[in-house]
Amino acid sequence: MRFERSKKDKVLFIIGLLLAVGLIGAGCVGIKSTPEGGSGVAVAGGTLYVAPVLRTAGGGLGCEPQPSVGKLISMDTSGAQQWEVSLEPSARAGGGFGCAPASVPVAIYGTPAVNGGLVYVGGYNGIVYALNSNSGALRWVYPRQGSLQPIIGGLVVAGDKVFFGNSDGKVYALDAETGDKKWEFATEDKLWSTPFVDGDTLYIGSFDKRLYALNTADGSEKWVFEAEGAITSTPIIYNDALYFGSFDRHLYAVRVEDGSLKWKFMGGNWFWASPAASGNNIYAGCLDGKVYVVDAESGSEVAEINLERPISSSPAVVGGSVIVATEAGKVYAIENNQRRELRTLEAKVLAPLYTSNGVVYVHAENDKLYALNVQSGAELWALSLSGK
């Protein structure tokens, strides 16, 4: 009796152990348990600003301790580092179990914004940091105490204000000099997209499936456009229309003056990245692995370029070329509706691309920043942002 009972207990114990290991394994492998971030590149006055990916070296297996201190790095256009600052995390209320870290990591997803001697970044820990763009010295943080919900999108500076959307569903406008809050506007769901400011109007898409046009002076609503899916892509303006993608698989064109629908075009999956405009065409990278080239006026399809892997990185336009990177790490130049492979990187690319002076800057998930020649795709330099 004792023998069999103990055998049964052993069986149950092994099952329990397998269960725990299986679930923890499933939890920590394949699924990210903590945010890692990794921003796009901002260039101002010959200086690059970028926030690296938070990742333990060589890892990912099991519940390895995840770094939580964020970084912002400044370098010149040759890749020589100027300064690096650490951004401290805020404490997580009641956290620390299992794979969850005890503090909210300062993972930075949004591209930094630079203006008037300050560089602004928003972290997943819900804090906006304003730093001196020359030295990296901290000027102010918002909020002064505590933190907001995670900030996923980038910040935009226009006039004397800095704007951003937050996961709490609110658009915030802060005084660019002091960090004091000027106004806030509440939407009905998360805001992960970077706002776009044109003149006195701010445009931002929300998870509540709406695109909002707000007055930058006081945050009052000008108009609202309702899509059928959530919106994370930043809208662009081209020929008096706004272009943006949605999770409902549509690329939308909306009139700037009143927010009425101009046309909509259906792709094969989500439009996560922002589109680009060139030569009266809209280039929209889709998570179905295709770039749709659509006539900006009529919304009719001009071309469909299959890049084979999802495109979540926003493209960049240089002259007549549209530079696109896929999640597989391949960088293409699209010219005359034909793709030309520029480079295959060693890691996937999620962050938006940036071009300046014939160079395209690509921040890949291996935490390397690549500077590629726009014409040839030649690697001008590659810098490991984690310093390894």
Rule CB under 8 A: which residues touch other proteins?
1-9, 11-13, 15-16, 18-20, 22-24, 26-27, 30-36, 94, 97-100, 109, 150, 152, 189-190, 192, 207, 228-230, 247-249, 269-270, 272, 287, 310, 312, 350
In angstroms, give the least distance from the CB of 298 to other proteins: 24
Query: Is the CB of 50 or the CB of 318 nearer to other proteins?
Result: 50
State the alpha helices, DSSP H only, in the chain.
2-28
The residue type found at 163 is F
CA–CA dist 322, 334 (Å, integer): 5
The arrangement of strands across the sheet holding 128-132 comes to 113-115, 118-122, 128-132, 138-142
Query: What is the nearest approach in angstroms of other proteins to the Cβ of residue 193?
Result: 11
Q: How far is the CB of 95 from other proteins (least distance, A)?
A: 8
C-beta of 6 vs 375, nearer to other proteins: 6
Our CB check for other proteins shows the closer of 22 and 46 to be 22
Amino acid found at 292? Y
**β-bridge partners, 384:** 368
| Local structure of residue 195 (DSSP, 8 states) | P
- Nearest distance in Å: CB 358, other proteins: 30
Q: How far apart are CA 332 and CA 89, in angstroms?
A: 37
**Pick 92 or 139: Cβ nearer other proteins:** 92
Residue identified by tokens 């959307």 is 165
**Tokens 């081209």, located at residue:** 238
Taking the C-alpha atoms of residue 108 and residue 19, their distance in angstroms, rounded to an integer, is 34
Find the shortest distance in angstroms from Cβ 289 to other proteins: 10
3-state secondary structure of 28: helix
| Residue closer to other proteins, measured from CB, 219 or 275 | 275
In the complex with other proteins, the residue whose CB is nearer, 31 or 80, is 31
CB of 329 to other proteins, least distance (A): 15
Alpha-carbon distance values, 54 to 9, 51, 218, 251, 285 (Å): 42, 9, 36, 32, 26
